[in-house]
Structure 1
């Protein structure tokens, strides 16, 4: 006889990567979540624009039955902020070194509101796209120091080679009504993040009334790669919160 009840069913954890990364950046987190029995989906974030990316993630969410925990890294935080759209299955948001913008705010403005970001000088010359836009990459020789200083150089080199570009327009696109005003949120980030300054991350976490904010000493922007255990703990706290 099947004795499983609704309380035993774990929510699906939906992970959304950010700019200059791709879904494999969640591999360490995914491995542990699988071991703990969580269903997971690592979304391939298009990185084309806040609204269009959020609409894509929203379509993925609609395909999942039952409760979900929505996790975003970096620019992926702006995406999850706009992707809930009243979906009652989303029970929690987890921001991993991520933007949590309010209405009208942009990623580029939030990252520059406080000193400490060195992303601008680390970017390669923009690549023109067929639609008249521009794609942005981090220079491969600067990727390790800028993005992933606390992971081994060989791993950072692989991430630099597989990084996916974001459009310049996406970083300048205004956010819509934020999901964190109606959905509980959790935050984790490193105090040596060179993409989004620690002060900006702390400001966004406090403003969102974060249920738990974890600051990893010495951690870079890619905290889920360097500290997957800590990220998984925060996700579990969000997943099991009443």
Structure 2
């Protein structure tokens, strides 16, 4: 049984909670007995608001939802933070991660008996020792490197973001122009060291996984997404042929459908 965190810690650990103001309350809500809590982990160049359309649909179906504010500082430390978020939730949990968020949840869920499913949305699913940077470069097709701007942090590392003028074509080509423009301005940078940090023991070797492949992704090569899904023994893999990397924004319904499919699997 999980130990409940205080309301203050739980509120700091999660950006979106449904049913109540605290994570423990969310777990104790009216749907707990029949539905797991869905914990969403965003990736680089995004924030928890990128899940808004997915959250709306999951809540409409009665699922409690927590959208974790991924720090984007380092794979190990990001996973440790997300682990505090899932530790604040009682009962079964389905984790869904987008992009780099997939690598984070792969580490955060390792050894956690309450996580029943992993859903990778245009996401990295690394094996032990692999990094997001390595996996992205293993297959041709990513054009991300040419669009990045770096801000030195003074410790030998840099914050990376996508140039605003290139953001839509690189990250969100199928998102309406005005919305993509706002996403470009509000994107959260990722520390470059996070993308090259090797993964720990992957949770997908023990926990069933589902994958959604974005067929027009310019960040993570489509071939890499398919290969990671096959390697992880994906229970089901769906592909949206014209979807950009921001598939959760442009296609929230099939993303939510896949998460529900994982949540209801037996």
> Which TM-score tier does this pair reach, normalised by the shorter chain?
over 0.9
Shift of 1:92: 0.2
Q: Does 1:134 align with 2:158?
A: yes
User: Is 1:190–1:215's contact at 8 Å kept on the other side of the alignment?
Assistant: yes
The within-5 A match list for 1:63-212 is 63-124=88-149, 126-212=150-236
The within-5 A match list for 1:11-22 is 11-22=36-47
Question: Counterpart of 2:25?
Answer: none
Q: Does 1:29 align with 2:29?
A: no
Shift of 1:7: 8.9
User: Is 1:189–1:221's contact at 8 Å kept on the other side of the alignment?
Assistant: no
Consecutive unaligned residues of structure 1, counting only runs of 5 or more, are: none
Q: Does 1:56 align with 2:84?
A: no
Question: Counterpart of 1:229?
Answer: 253
Deviations 1:144-191 (A, max 9, x none): 000000010101001000000001100000001000000000000211
* Alignment coverage as a number of residue pairs: 238
Consecutive unaligned residues of structure 2, counting only runs of 5 or more, are: 1-29
Shift of 1:132: 3.8
User: Is 1:16–1:23's contact at 8 Å kept on the other side of the alignment?
Assistant: yes
Q: Which contiguous aligned blocks of 4+ residues in structure 1 show a shift greater than 6 angstroms?
A: none
Q: Distance in 1 between matches of 2:233 and 2:49?
A: 30
Deviations 1:110-164 (A, max 9, x none): 001111000000111x101144421000000000000000010101001000000
Shift of 1:68: 0.5
Classify 1:134/1:241 alpha carbon distance in 2 versus 1 (closer, same or farther; 3 Å): same
Alignment RMSD, CA only? 1.5
Shift of 1:6: 9.1
TM-score for both structures, normalised by structure 2: 0.87
Shift of 1:217: 1.3
Q: Distance in 2 between matches of 1:241 and 1:8?
A: 15
TM-score for both structures, normalised by structure 1: 0.96
